[in-house]
Amino acid sequence: MLNPVGPGFIKTASRSLRAAMAVLAAFILPGAPRAVAQDGPVALIRDSEIESILKAEATPLLRAAGLNPDAVHIYIVNDRTLNAFVAGGQNLFLNTGLIMKTKNPNELMGVMAHETGHMAGGHLVRSDEGMRAALVTQIITLGIGLAAAFAGGDPRGAAVIMASSGEFATLQLFTYTRVQESSADQAAATYLEASGRSGKGLVDFFRNFQYEETFSDAKRDAFFRSHPLSSERIEALRETVTRAPHFETKDTSEDLAQHALMIAKLKGYINYPVETLNEFPETDTTFPARYARAIAWYKDVETTKALEALDALIKEQPENPYLQEFKGQVLFERGRIREAEAPLRRAVELAPKASLIRISFAQVLLATRTPDNVKEALDNLIPAVNLERENGMGWRLLADAYEQTGNSPMARLATAEGAFNQGNMIDARNFARRAQELLTKDTPEYRRASDIVNAAEGQVMRELRGRGG
């Protein structure tokens, strides 16, 4: 579940994610949403259930593109604006605003298929070529203006030419981007067809927002500033998908239910409780609506109502690990630690591969501070952090678990790992050195601490040189 203090949390982007988005910032069009990568940290939402839904929708598309689904990371950006992008290689970012504005799973899959087209086509890397071409255009135009000035021509004409150099470069870059967008459109149609899905959703999504093309960059949604639309582009895509054998394929009832649940859950967490209760009144007895109301009551600290609503949902879906996870979270955050243990244990049994749930369960176990529970917490945290390398909460809990068992060397190493994976190189180096003091030499743990020291020191030195220090 989404939780500002637990593992289903809204967090700021780690060092590696900021680096990935810095790659995007270097290549975005003039007027594109630079704040995404440059103006401070990006808030990411973590939630096991929503991530599992998105992964299930993306997996057939990624396979159709020849990509390994396990190597592609999908991140949910806590931003109400409509945007989606890829950055830093195989990292797909989806804004909550975009997810919530899609009308059905097919539209969302269409957007993901389009972004997969950018990913598989290496467009972020190739954008460097477009940027260089635009820069050359600008330099050449400036050169013409300077030549005119030095040749004794009209200085006003030379000034106009030089002032226009940026516009010429922008036109060059837009031409390059249009080629990439059309390529990603056609790739998306191929992936959707190969996975047995219709391309209609992507066309519908583009048509729904075609009016964006009439707006200035200041009013246009981020997605359409970096993915410029045109009637010709939409028509070319429409012609392709309407000829495809799966054009008339509809979303399954299960897919529609999962999509509705995901949007209701996002709204329940992002909106104020009063907004959620107004949008999902008690007269709405659908599963997503009742889920959203349970979240609203939980946020509004109406614990009894939230738990009653959750128990009713669990009675309908007793094998749903995410409902059990949510119940455990509500109980834990209300100080009912012993009661929280059972639903979270059940959640882990139902979803053993869900690392975020294991981390939540471990947090509850550690809070009891009993030896058996601490050992069980270790058994859950070690595999979880190996999969969730950038999860700071997981590493902090692992360090606490080691400390409670009297294993200070491993507690220091876990703290160093957490700092290193989140980009805090000074803390990583310092804690790894402290771990080295206590670890036995020539053991895997000692060598790992040495690796962290060396890598962290190298990074610190590079940053100092970059600052002229």
| pLDDT tens by residue, 183-226 | 899 999 999 999 999 999 999 999 887 765 555 555 566 677 76
Mean pLDDT value across residues 3-20: 44
pLDDT of residue 123 exceeding 90 = no
pLDDT of residue 328 exceeding 50 = yes
pLDDT-derived band of residue 247, with 50, 70 and 90 as boundaries? very high
Sign of CA dihedral 140, 144, 150, 154: negative
Nearest CA to 55 out of 302, 300, 262 is that of 262
Domains of the chain, residue spans: 10-122, 123-242, 317-391, 407-469
Residues forming a β-bridge with 85: 93
Q: Do domains 10-122 and 317-391 have the same CATH topology?
A: no
Global pTM exceeds 0.95: no
Distance between CA atoms of residues 312 and 282, nearest Å: 14
Distance between CA atoms of residues 73 and 13, nearest Å: 13
Let me know if domain 317-391 sits in CATH 3.30.200.20.
Answer: no
| pLDDT tens by residue, 394-423 | 999 999 999 999 999 999 999 999 999 988
Fold classified for 10-122: Zincin-like (3.30.2010)
User: For residue 120, how many other CB atoms are within 10 A of its CB?
Assistant: 21
pLDDT of residue 160 exceeding 80 = no
User: For residue 155, how many other CB atoms are within 10 A of its CB?
Assistant: 11
User: For residue 393, how many other CB atoms are within 10 A of its CB?
Assistant: 23
Contact, 97 vs 79, CB < 8 A?
yes
